[in-house]
A and B are shown apart, each in its own frame.
Chain A
């Protein structure tokens, strides 16, 4: 699975929709994701990638693309 597929899987799981319905260029606003969903998505991403997402980074993630980009940086940087 690519980082993008894994991110979409986490978001789909958190907001209870099919992964196929989540487009890679969708914003969280378009997906109807509120702040509480956002917290749950960050929790899911941490679990999926086995990382800790600092609060400053969590605040910046407002779309699927941003999540993928941030996660790609972290995953690539990891040893």
Chain B
């Protein structure tokens, strides 16, 4: 069976747009959550989010290119370019048919949709921007990345809410394993901070308010947690068939060793314990390593009351006695809930944890919840050997995905 390794990564996130800055910020426990600056919040009850700071579209694209790129596509292209450059990959013509793209997104081009609907409903506009459809479609980011880098292999988008990019990475892994492609650019992007999307999220009553302390708003697993914080960002990983990576002497971050995906078939928002547990087991089964080799889990850890309890139970169910030996952290405490990009950004954090043998912390952890009683790496990173690590994503809709990575060499 063909093996798959990670040879490059690119990130555009609320806590950094280079791998170095991204991981340093996570290790420092520094949050990127702030008062929203990019949209008018005067009519919003929730005024905080994890925005990408200092992102200037014109540094990356011409005006003409920007006419056709929603924000979620822009940041996907930027992350894909930096992943390719990190991998040291020069794409030549014979490679293109074997190079694919798999990107997750939950919201697609919602900035474009928001603006179009505002014109139609609020302004009663006679006409709408003719590029609205090609900008807003959920596959726009995958198509744009494919065009910008000239990838002609399998290319598609995956939309499973908060698990989108974990599913896309898992699928990309299997595409290479099964021989459909040799290299896949896998990950996802989301830019959901629009007035319309924020209003809809407010209505669900699961958002943290962060009053008086935006940076400390997201407190996964802590007894005083009060909900999730919406974020925006993109993460792309270069997945490459092992022999191909070896031939070109590529630096290898880690091996993608397992993928699990299950559905709760339960409730549209209320999760089960067994669905996530089965997804973790399925991913571990594919790795073929015993569970005592697992050292770190990058948790879904949304900081909602229910998720963190259910996830803790699921981890205990899968790992038994090993559960208390694991380092488990939610980096969402710092980069926020990046929705369809979460899985990709969190897998990048997971891979760097494995590469450097250090678990990034769960920031803003104040006090234990009796129902969340594992090692959540509170506030300070923990240096420890990391042989195998999991990245968990559990979506609204009961769709669960887990990717397992293994130290290489």
Which segment of B123-131, B221-229, B292-300 sits at the interface?
A: B123-131
Q: Would B131 and A46 count as touching, CB distance under 8 A? A: no
Number of interface residues of A (CB under 8 A): 11
Tell me if A16 and B64 are in contact (CB < 8 A): yes
Q: How far is the CB of B230 from chain A (nearest CB, A)?
A: 32
Residues A43 and B64 in contact, CB atoms below 8 Å apart: no
Nearest-Cβ distance from residue B128 to partner chain A, whole angstroms: 9
Instruction: Check if B42 is an interface residue, CB within 8 A of chain A.
Output: no
Per-position binary interface string of chain B over residues 105-144, scored 1 when its CB falls under 8 Å from any chain A CB and 0 otherwise? 0000000000000000000001101110000000000000
Return chain A residues, CB-CB under 8 Å to B202.
none
B127 with A40: CB separation less than 8 A: no
Q: Which residue of A lies closest to B131 (CB)?
A: A40
Q: How far is the CB of B112 from chain A (nearest CB, A)?
A: 14
B59 within 8 A of A: no
Min CB–CB distance A17 → chain B (angstroms): 9
When C-beta atoms are compared, the residue in chain B nearest to A41 turns out to be B130
B67 at the binding interface (Cβ < 8 Å) = yes
A5 at the B interface (CB under 8 A): no
Decide yes or no whether A18 CB sits under 8 A from chain B: no
Contact-residue bracket for chain B: 10 to 19
Picked from B62, B63, B68, B129, the residue with its CB within 8 Å of the CB of A43 is: B129
A56 CB to nearest chain B CB (Å): 17
The residues in B between 229 and 279 inclusive whose CB is less than 8 angstroms from any CB of A are: none
Closest to B62 in A: A16
A31 surroundings in chain B (CB, below 8 A): none
With a 10 A CB-CB cut-off, give which of B64, B127, B130, B131 has the most chain A CB atoms. Answer: B130
Kindly list chain B residues whose C-beta atoms are within 8 Å of the C-beta of A50. Answer: 126
CB atoms of A16 and B63 under 8 A apart? yes
Q: How far is the CB of B83 from chain A (nearest CB, A)?
A: 28
Roughly how many angstroms separate A47 CA and B130 CA in the complex, as a whole number?
A: 12
Q: How far is the CB of B129 from chain A (nearest CB, A)?
A: 7
User: Interface of A with B (CB < 8 Å)?
Assistant: 15-16, 36, 39-40, 42-43, 46-47, 50, 52
Given A40-B131, A43-B127, 12 additional A-B pairs, CB 8 A: A15-B64, A16-B62, A16-B67, A36-B131, A39-B130, A40-B67, A40-B130, A43-B129, A46-B126, A46-B127, A47-B127, A50-B126
Could you give 19 example pairs across A and B, Cβ below 8 Å? A15-B64, A16-B62, A16-B63, A16-B64, A16-B67, A36-B68, A36-B131, A39-B130, A40-B130, A40-B131, A42-B130, A43-B127, A43-B129, A43-B130, A46-B126, A46-B127, A47-B127, A50-B126, A52-B126
